[in-house]
Amino acid sequence: MGIHIKSPEEQQLMRAAGKAAGTVLEFITPHVKAGISTDELNTLCHNYIVDGLGLIPAPLGYGEGPGRPPFPKSVCTSVNHVVCHGIPGPKPLKKGDVVNIDVTVIKNGFHGDTSKMFTIGEPKIQAKNAIDVALKSMWLGIHQVKPGGTLRDIGRAIQTYVEANRCSVVREYCGHGIGKVFHEDPQVLHYDDGSRDFVLQEGMTFTIEPMVNAGKRHTRLLPDAWTVITKDRSPSAQWEHTILVTKDGFEVLTLRDEERAAGYPEKGAIA
């Protein structure tokens, strides 16, 4: 497969795709409340992506393989102990639930991929902790991104922080290169497997999307062949951004205004 280094023109297209993906999360945020079903959230996102933005929702029809049907919906919605790839369904969200909405759009042939956690009312302390730890770990990973840095630096920063905070990192799923292809090389592990001395270069684009469990790290795949849950049914949290390696650091292509307002950086440079 190989790694695709994006030209300045391709970087501009990735910026536009990333920004669009972020706006879908901004659009859906006020709708994520007790009583709405994840299927209704999916329909709202689908219509916004297709009719509002004129774009393609990448998950819809994606990923058919041996023993696995194509993904049937336009976003992934992962509630409580669902780790990732939850399929939107008819069950209404209720107070105390936590849900990840994962949006991927295709704009001018390029993908933007980002996800965010939402809380319905007050979640239990375990779930809240996993959400906070996952968010912080994603940003620690992002801050490792610079030319000359390694994938290993990213995984190590995330794992160290998560495990120091009484949570665990899911190992079966990882971040990924992204561009014209939804999931391309390299794989971006959220832990240190000791073998990722792969050096980052300007123009690479990939996601960082740690899945953090309040309990043990192990997962189970449901018979629908998509939904991943925690084996111990502990709550799980995930955040995701699409990142560009710049001349001297990183750029977060999917940053939202609410994050900017909260002081999260669009760009970072080697000190």
Which is nearest to 5 in space by CA: 247, 196, 257, 268? 247
Which is nearest to 108 in space by CA: 206, 204, 20, 3? 20
Which of Co ion, ligand MF3, none interacts with 63 (beta carbon under 5 to 8 A by kind)?
Answer: ligand MF3
Q: What is the per-residue binding string for Co ion in 82-121, x denoting contact by CB under 5 A?
A: --------------------x----------x--------
Return d(Cα 98, Cα 81) in angstroms, integer. 9
Which of Co ion, ligand MF3, none interacts with 97 (beta carbon under 5 to 8 A by kind)?
Answer: none
Helix, strand or coil, per DSSP, at residue 103? strand
C-beta closer to ligand MF3: residue 11 or 242:
242
Tell me if 62 contacts ligand MF3 by CB under 6 A: yes
Return d(Cα 259, Cα 142) in angstroms, integer. 14
Tell me if 116 contacts ligand MF3 by CB under 6 A: no
What is the DSSP pairing of strand 98-107 with strand 168-169? unpaired
Looking only at residues 149 through 168 of this chain, which bind Co ion when binding is defined by CB under 5 A? Answer: none
- CB contact set of 88 (below 8 Å; sequence gap of 6+): 37, 38, 39, 41, 42, 73, 75, 76, 77
Tell me if 63 contacts ligand MF3 by CB under 6 A: yes
Among the candidate windows 56-64, 118-126, 132-140, 149-157, which touches ligand MF3 by CB under 6 A?
A: 56-64
Which of Co ion, ligand MF3, none interacts with 71 (beta carbon under 5 to 8 A by kind)?
Answer: ligand MF3
Figure out which of the listed residues 11, 104, 144, 168 binds ligand MF3, where binding follows CB under 6 A: 104
Which is nearest to 140 in space by CA: 215, 236, 241? 241
Tell me if 240 contacts ligand MF3 by CB under 6 A: yes
Return d(Cα 250, Cα 204) in angstroms, integer. 10
C-beta closer to ligand MF3: residue 62 or 198:
62
| Residues making contact with ligand MF3 (CB under 6 A) | 59, 62-63, 71, 76, 85, 102, 104, 113, 207, 209, 226, 240
